[in-house]
Structure 1
Amino acid sequence: MRLLIRAYDLLVAAMALVAALTLVWLMVAVVASVAMRNLGMQPFAWLFTSTEYGLLYMTMLGAPWLVRERGHVHIELVTAALPGRARRFVSRAIAALCVLVCAILAWYGLELFLTNIERNDYDVRAYFYPRWLLTITFPISFSVMAIEFARFVAGAELLHSGEAGIHE
């Protein structure tokens, strides 16, 4: 079991690393594109397309790590006003709702991914890019996010700290 947990933790870390590297690529691509335009050159078509793909990959692959670290945006005004027992209940209920939403999105993402493979869909702009390479991120990321939210449902830690305001 420890090996499985370790492999899962490495998966979440690897997804976050790919998201971080994608962010670096986005910075390089945007700077290169702007520099080329300012020099009177036409930026490469693939440069723009790769930034669009990068935004999707960065968002989807980085989201599970953000859930784990509680780095997503949420407001704790209500949970901060609740007494301890009620706060724990509300926090776990919200996390359970998030598990349900992520599971539904993972399911539909899997259907979309399988449809793209079945139809042999391509995104045709600067180059032919198999659409399934884009949509594979949906079932993977939403499934991992469902697991991460489930850890807040059943684990010792809560999704909400119960402290309103900025605490960093």
Structure 2
Amino acid sequence: MIGRAYRGVLHAGAVVAALLLGALALLVTGDVVARNLGLGTLPWIIEVSEYSLPLATFLVAPWLLSRSEHVRLDTLIRALPPATGRALERFADGVGLLICAVFVVYGAKAIASSAQQGSMVIKAIVFPEWWLYAPVPVCFALLAIEFVRRMLGRGPLAGAGPHA
């Protein structure tokens, strides 16, 4: 039950990321067409694109890692004996886990600090600054879970590298 719900959360993140990117493509295209037709521009579109691109990246990253479809350089791992390659992959997963833990902690601190100070983003769109930071600890926590799963060899596609 937990596994199914967890996979649903990862899939939802990927779907939202895809929808964000699709909407962004339509908005930017519409803005360019409107500008070229002399109809003016919508100033908030650039701002929305600035916030949407990193958000989409954060949302899709755990799903990609769970499917072993993330960007990876495995030239060295492929050149090593299988047991050594597996050990190196597990070590890299451990480093990834530690990095994610740091981002979870500092992301949560950034949210708390921004919310406590009542900081606002004041541009074409006005909103609380902590909204920008909110995806960081959540998505890095999901990435941390995936790194643990990979280290333990769990999940249907965990450890799907060349030495799995």
TM norm structure 2:
0.92
The residue number in structure 2 matching 1:19 is 17
1:96 and 2:94 matched: yes
Deviation at 1:117, TM superposition (A): 1.0
Which consecutive unaligned segments of at least 5 residues does structure 1 have?
163-168
Give the deviation of 1:29 after TM superposition. 1.2
Report whether the alignment pairs 1:66 with 2:64: yes
Distance between the aligned counterparts of 2:160 and 2:109, measured in 1? Answer: 29
Q: CA RMSD in A?
A: 1.6
Task: State the match for 1:166 in structure 2.
Answer: none
Which residue identity is paired with 2:77?
T
Q: Distance in 1 between matches of 2:43 and 2:161?
A: 44
Letter in 1 for 2:162: S
1:1-168 correspondence runs (5 A): 3-156=1-154, 157-158=158-159, 160-162=161-163
2:72 is paired with a residue whose SS is: coil
SS in 1 for 2:92: helix
- Aligned partner of 1:153: which letter? M
Moved over 6 A (4+): none
User: Matched residues in 2 for 1:62 and 1:31: separation?
Assistant: 23
* Contact in 2 for aligned 1:95/1:159 (Cα 8 Å): no
User: Structure 2 counterpart of 1:136, which letter?
Assistant: A
Q: Measure, in 1, the Cα distance between the counterparts of 2:137 and 2:98.
A: 14
Q: Which residue of 2 aligns with 1:165?
A: none
Identity of aligned residues (%): 32
